Every structure is written in structure tokens, then in C-alpha cells.
Structure 1
């Protein structure tokens, strides 16, 4: 039964739920903090559950490139059942640990084409569900991500778009998430692969390191300690010329 239909059958105004985020910018491995404010409607109700979810746009779940109606849940935290009196207001604080493999929406401080992320708040009463609060957020790249993005740009690669996919990526031996993100870059002209040739890249991040997968090759592990732009540029250039020009 739809949430609004359920409440209408009781002849009451709907309770309202809002998640107030401490920040709308996060990074993988960080903490998403929010205050959840619930305001009672025209009658006493039993709130069965409130779920606050970190969600991402998943390519296969949407009918078009721009739609974003069926997001994938990356992480969540739930507030258990409680009674809410008519007109009353309650506030709950929560913190969601952001997984290291959370798909990013921004790199080098810029929004990327394709990916989107949001915080979705769901209110449940007697098996009726209201998805009334939906706040888009920015998931910024880790410093190691940014170093590789910078290396791609230094070598003349041009970023095209990113997409989040479901399942296990080939070569993802350390993957723990059910989602993975594919980043597509056009090869620069001096690699002589044609103007439409693309390099597909996947990062699988952890607290101390990340794996880099390029097309069918990898994973290649990189520790965060000691990782520099010069090292990334040299490795990426040698890797691409070895794998795609010989």
C-alpha cells in the first residue's frame, strides 16, 4: 500500500521526516553524519523504522542515461521503532561509515560526467513506505584517485564518463562491494590507437592502498604511502605503451 494512500485511509496528515546533513561532501572511508528530524502529523502513529541510506546511481538499474529512480544502496543506518504523538517532534543523530569502495562523483575537485550519489531517508509505518527525503551529495576522490586522474591528464588522456555497475569486476580480487565503478578515458593521439580508443579504469580502494585495473589487465596494487604524481605518470605511460602498443 502506498504511504500517502495509507495515511489518507486514516484521515490524518502525514508525518514528515528530514535528514539534515552535517556536510554534503564526503570521501570514501569517511563518516557521513546527519540529524534525522521527525514531525508528527494529525494522529498518534507507530513509526516502524526510519532508514537513512547512502545511494548511488547504478547504470543497469535505470532506463536512460539521465534517469535515477532506482539507486543502489551503498551503506545505511536504521532507527528502530518508536511511537510518535500527533504534532510531536523527535530528533535522532546518526553516523554512517562510508565504504572505501564507494563510487566517486568528483575528481580533482570537479564533478565527473555520469555518477551521482545521494542520501535517501525512508519512513515506514505499518508496512507503508515514504521515500520523501532525497539529498544529492558529492563523493570526492581520495588523494590516490586524484593522483592517477592527474597522471591521466598529464599524459594527455581525456576523461569521458564514469558508470557504476553491479556484480564483480574482472580482476577485482579484493572487491568487497556489490558495486564497482568504471572510468573511461580517451587515449591521447601520440599512442596512435585512433581518436575513439578508450582506456577503461577501475579503482578498488582500501584504507592503506588501492588496486588499479586497466581494461583486462590487473589488479595492480599501489600503497598510498610514497605515491607521487611522477610515479603515477611514469607507471601509467609505461604500462599503456607496453600493453597497447606492442
Structure 2
């Protein structure tokens, strides 16, 4: 994947930039590898800033619809600084962006999560002209434990609606704060099974992943924790059902 974008504000002989994402399918905790090539134009210039941002679609940043992608939120940034770029010169940067364990997902159970988007954005600034380039969208796939929890919801009859990212200062219950390390979180909205007699009501679930375990917060409730080393689909489904029914006052 890659993009090529001219700094049109600097004229026809402006530098151009190309970013290639080498592994556009990743999981939380992994590294995203990118190669950035900046090619000089007809004259030498001072590049003030070259930066890569890993951005997500944040629900509360988009006021004009559920699929808007106008104000992406950066979750990981690599600042490559400034440098002198000669006429016709090519400068190459190899960049690795480490995804946090709490990275929002775009895919789970092999399918895209409605409303979820993640991309690499490259920013080049010269003489106060800033080119943010185009987005290179990537896929962030679920960890095995996240897939297992969402599989458990499927087994219980829940149906996927959408996923959305929330960013501080959206309120976060104080009793959960010790588990969360990022200023954002992803809510996965699911429709209740018909057999639960909740009509069209939705259950919002927040999955807070760590290196060795996963906290699932259903419906704004305290977490049920799943340890990766103990992954057992049947046991996890039973534990999730018990926890959700208790949180919903149905036990």
C-alpha cells in the first residue's frame, strides 16, 4: 500500500512523498512497518517536519454521521524531525509503529467491524505549507482472546451492530481506571438475543486488552477478566453469560 502526494502549495517542482506500509494487517501489540520516501523537486528545501501518525476514526470527533472520517484521532506518532532536502535528492526513512495492546480493532472473527477505521497518515511541512497526504488504511485484527469473547457473544445469540472509539474527556468510571492505560477506548455495540426479551436494546462492550489478559466490560459494568493462557471457548462463553446476566439484573 502506498500513496503519492505533491505539495502543490510549493509549485510544480515541489518535493513529493510516498509512504508504503509493509504489513497492513496487524494485531494489538505488534509493530507496523512503514517506508517513507521523500524526493526532492527542482530546488533544495528545508523540511521542517516529517511525521507519521497512526489514526483512528473517533465517534465523538465526527458530528456528521456514523461513517464520517474527517477528524481522525492519532493514537501513535513517529516524529522524524526536520532535514535539508536537496534538489532531486531522495531521503528514505524506515519507521516502526508499535501498536498498543488497547489498539482499536477494525476486524474480528474474520470480518470488518462496522464503523471501525484505522490508517497511517504522513505529514510533511515545508515553508509553512503542510501536506497531510492521503490515508493508507490498514487492518487491525483481533487477538485470539478478543475473537474468543466475540465468538462467545455470537454463541449466546448477540448480533453485531457497530464499533466506535471514544476519547477523553468522555467520562470513564473511576473503578476501571487502574486497568486502562490509553486516553481512548473502543465500544463494541451488540443487539441482545431475542430470547433475552430486551427488544432492540443494545449491549455496549468495552474490551481492554493487556499483554496477558483481557477485561470485558459489558453494559457499563465492572469487568470479567479472561487470561490468555486459560483460553477455553466453552468456559469463556459460560463465564461471559453469567457475568452479563448478573450485570443486567437477569440472574
Q: Pick the TM interval, shorter chain.
A: over 0.9
| 1:188 and 2:193 are equivalent in the alignment | yes
Superposition map of 1:54-133 within 5 A: 54-62=54-62, 63-133=64-134
Q: Distance in 2 between matches of 1:42 and 1:140?
A: 42
The separation in 2 between residues aligned to 1:108 and 1:169, in whole angstroms, is 27
How many angstroms does 1:128 deviate by? 2.3
- The CA deviation string for residues 29-77 of structure 1, in whole angstroms up to 9 with x for no partner, is 0001111111111211011121111100011111222220110001011
Q: Which residue of 2 aligns with 1:215?
A: 219
Q: Distance in 2 between matches of 1:133 and 1:45?
A: 22
Q: Cα offset for 1:156? A: 0.9
CA distance in 2 between counterparts of 1:156 and 1:220 reads 19
What's the TM-score, normalizing by structure 2? 0.90
Are the equivalent residues in 2 in contact too, given 1:169–1:180 (CA < 8 A)? Answer: no
SS in structure 2 at match of 1:99: coil
Give the alignment's TM-score, normalised by structure 1. 0.92
Write the mapping of 1:166-245 to structure 2, written as runs, cut at 5 A.
Answer: 166-167=167-168, 169-170=172-173, 171-173=175-177, 174-194=179-199, 196-244=200-248, 245=250
Indicate conservation of the 8 Å contact 1:44/1:83, yes or no.
yes
Q: Distance in 2 between matches of 1:37 and 1:30?
A: 23
Is the alpha carbon distance of 1:133 and 1:89 closer, same or farther for their aligned partners in structure 2, counting shifts above 3 Å?
Answer: farther
Q: Distance in 2 between matches of 1:142 and 1:243?
A: 25
Q: Quote the Cα distance in structure 1 between the aligned partners of 2:134 and 2:79.
A: 15
Shift of 1:111: 0.5
CA contact (8 A) 2:217 2:224 kept: yes
The number of equivalent residue pairs is 239
Task: Tell me which residue corresponds to 2:48.
Answer: 48
C-alpha separation in 1, matches of 2:96 and 2:152 = 34
Give a deviation string over 1:78-109, Cα, whole Å, max 9, x none: 21211111122111111111111110000011
Matched, 1:14 2:17: no
Deviation at 1:239, TM superposition (A): 1.8
Instruction: After superposing the two structures, state which structure 1 stretch, 128-137 or 214-223, moved more.
Output: 214-223
Q: Deviation of residue 132 (structure 1)? A: 1.2
User: Gaps spanning 5+ residues in structure 1: where?
Assistant: none
Instruction: State whether residues 155 and 237 of structure 1, in contact with CA within 8 Å, keep that contact through their aligned partners in structure 2.
Output: yes
CA contact (8 A) 1:191 1:241 kept: no
How far apart are 1:126 and its partner, in Å? 2.9
d(CA) in 1 for partners of 2:190, 2:129: 44
* Closer/same/farther in 2, CA of residues 159 and 92 from structure 1, 3 Å limit: same
Matching residue of 1:158: 159
